Chains A and B, each alone.
Chain A
Amino acid sequence: RKEVEQDPGPFNVPEGATVAFNCTYSNSASQSFFWYRQDCRKEPKLLMSVYSSGNEDGRFTAQLNRASQYISLLIRDSKLSDSATYLCVVSRGATNKLIFGTGTLLAVQP
């Protein structure tokens, strides 16, 4: 079993739709949580850190449930430019090692 699991998709949604991605992690010692997006043949870009209280940045909302070891990302009012792979990432220990999920591919259709 992978340490960070995501539905690989693809998620094909129309512009303006709301889409939710889920992620589970297996190691309860995981301490920090992030969502990155990666465009085809580009580097991962940090979208947001995820806090226990939940956090929102414009159209993006991230939630963390430590008891269930579950992280989510909600994108409202999808834009064509949101098309990318969304990577769920956890970090643990003093060495700041990032463990990536396999990513979920989002394709927003006009």
Chain B
Amino acid sequence: DTEVTQTPKHLVMGMTNKKSLKCEQHMGHRAMYWYKQKAKKPPELMFVYSYEKLSINESVPSRFSPECPNSSLLNLHLHALQPEDSALYLCASSNLGVDPRDEQYFGPGTRLTVT
């Protein structure tokens, strides 16, 4: 079962709000990822956690703060976002995260609107 779940499905927040996106997988994968996808564009990598440690930060602004409480969970904390941060935020997981042959499986995403 290649299931990655994400909550909430939709989120509308103001620029002064603090909110969190959540992602969970129960496939025993040891790598988890956050991607951002704008309309009609491909996903862009934001963060990679491998064995619960942050291994890649793609120069993401500090208003996005990832957290990996355990190997099954990944959070993305949001604070003081801008309207241009409105996008689909996708979580993915893969087996090990240290092998480029690893296949990544995506959750359904959280559609974020910043007003």
Contact = CB atoms under 8 A, between A and B. Distances in A.
B107 A95 contact: no
A93 B103 CA distance: 14
A93 B101 CA distance: 10
A49 B101 contact: yes
A46 B105 contact: yes
In this complex, the interface size class of chain A, counting residues with CB under 8 Å from chain B, is 20 to 34
Contacts of B111: 41
Given A95-B55, A96-B94, A97-B56, A87 B100 contact: no
A51 to B, nearest CB: 9
Given A42-B108, A43-B108, A43-B109, A97 B103 contact: no
A13 to B, nearest CB: 21
Interface of B: prevailing SS: loop
A97 B97 CA distance: 9
B49 to A, nearest CB: 11
B42 A103 contact: yes
Interface in A82-108: 87, 91-98, 100-103
A68 to B, nearest CB: 20
Contacts of A21: none
Contact of B48 (A32, A44, A45, A95): A95
Q: Ordered nearest first, which 4 A-B pairs have the shortest CB separation?
A: A100-B42, A91-B100, A43-B106, A31-B100
Given A46-B105, A97-B45, 10 more contacts: A32-B100, A42-B108, A43-B108, A44-B106, A91-B101, A91-B102, A94-B98, A95-B55, A97-B48, A101-B42
